[in-house]
Structure 1
Amino acid sequence: MKFSDAVTLQGKHASLVPLTMAHHDGLCEAVRDGELWKLWYTSVPSPEAMSKEIERRLNLQKLGSMNPFCILDAKGEPIGMTTYMNIDQENRRLEIGSTWYRQSVQRTAINTECKLMLLRYAFVDLACIAVEFRTHFFNHQSRKGIERLGAKLDGVLRSHQINRHPDAKDSLRDTCVYSILAGEFPAVDAHLSFQLHSSNL
């Protein structure tokens, strides 16, 4: 089994299905909720760039370095995108990233459930040794979300990338690198499962 092989992950609140160009219009509608492409500290495609971004992700899948998903809500409507990326099958590692959700579903049970499904598949079915998460130092919402999953900060890659967003004026990005190890996953699984069943979500 290749880590980049298309797979569908089904949950109660959402499902993760293989990304295709057929999701284009629904994703364009989703990204307009909150005008997410205007956030300078993250990279979210604009409606005009959605087709190119879907094509980019699918091309990386063909190369074996990415497994892209479209996130669907309980009604089957596209609400965002996520991926397994920077796949290193030889060393049984991958990163969960390039994720965005329409604003109206952010900070809901959907994100927790999707991350749990991705982690379970990575650790149980793919037998990963470690799963990484990376985000901009100033993306505090993303950092808090990753930390709530139970991931631990491995370190900060300083001046890691040039931030090419028009509002960032080619500033340098410091990247926070987090990870969950295989031995830590049972506790993370129990923690996220409890969150999903708690009244707080």
Structure 2
Amino acid sequence: MLNLPTLSSNGVTLEPLNLSHAKDLVAACKDGELWLITTTSVPEPDMVVNYINNAHTTHDRCAFAVIDEVTGRAIGSTSYHDILPLPKRLEIGYTWYAKSYWRTHVNTVCKLMMLTYAFETLEYLTVGWRTDDANYRSQQAIERLGVKKDGTIRGNRVCRDGVISGTTMYSLTATEWPNIKETLQEKLTSAH
């Protein structure tokens, strides 16, 4: 679907996800037992290889491994998905990081790289996000980016624990991007 490059900034590298990242991602999802969070897509440790293979066989998804440049290890994953070439819209999601990287600069850096590539290289017009209606931590992280909340689709998904939930949708347009880019760059500058 998309020919993914390797992107690098501020000590974080995004490289196309492949099976060589499996061992690191097993350790990353164990950091905080992330698979126990029923509102996320984090795989169980013994399902990481299937997770990677599934990312490759989903026709409208292009996945990255998130690499900590200090350790050289994969610490999570993120993807472009629901890629619609004609209206030039895609979403960023399937994003997760080892718990020890939560509330660090990593998410801001990843979003800045992915949004810059989507808007400035691919020339897409809209980037969206979705999260489980009950996943308040993810909603707060998305809202910290400064994007617009589009609304909630009620009762459209089943969580791992069988609970039926909704999806909260967000989006950012190419015309809004320059202001958001400036905000993200300021956040990174103030974090260092």
TM-score by length of 1: 0.92
SS at match of 2:79: strand
2:163 partner letter: S
1:187 partner letter: N
Mapped to 1, the partners of 2:4 and 2:183 lie a distance apart of 27
Does 1:161 find its partner at 2:161?
A: no
**Alpha-carbon shift at residue 6 of structure 1 (Å):** 2.2
Q: CA RMSD in A?
A: 1.0
Q: What residue in structure 2 maps to residue 51 of structure 1? A: 49
Mapped to 1, the partners of 2:44 and 2:121 lie a distance apart of 34
Q: What residue in structure 2 maps to residue 151 of structure 1? A: 147
Gaps of 5+ in 1: none
Q: What residue in structure 1 maps to residue 4 of structure 2? A: 6
More helix by share: 1
Structure 1's consecutive aligned runs of 4 or more residues displaced over 2 angstroms after TM superposition are: none
Q: Per-residue CA shift, 1:50-106, capped at 9, x if unaligned?
A: 01010000112xx3x111100000222110000000110111100000010000011
Q: Per-residue CA shift, 1:93-123, capped at 9, x if unaligned?
A: 0000001000001110011000000000000
**What percentage of aligned pairs have identical amino acids?**
38
| 1:31-70 equivalences in 2 (<5 Å) | 31-60=29-58, 63=59, 65-70=60-65
SS at match of 2:170: strand
* Matched positions, count: 191
Mapped to 2, the partners of 1:161 and 1:39 lie a distance apart of 15
Q: What residue in structure 1 maps to residue 106 of structure 2? A: 110
Gaps of 5+ in 2: none
Q: What residue in structure 2 maps to residue 197 of structure 1? A: 189
SS at match of 1:6: coil
Q: What residue in structure 1 maps to residue 14 of structure 2? A: 16
**Alpha-carbon shift at residue 194 of structure 1 (Å):** 0.1
SS at match of 1:91: coil
SS at match of 1:198: helix
Does 1:87 find its partner at 2:79?
A: no
Check whether the contact 1:13–1:109 (CA below 8 A) recurs between aligned residues.
Answer: no
2:172 partner letter: I
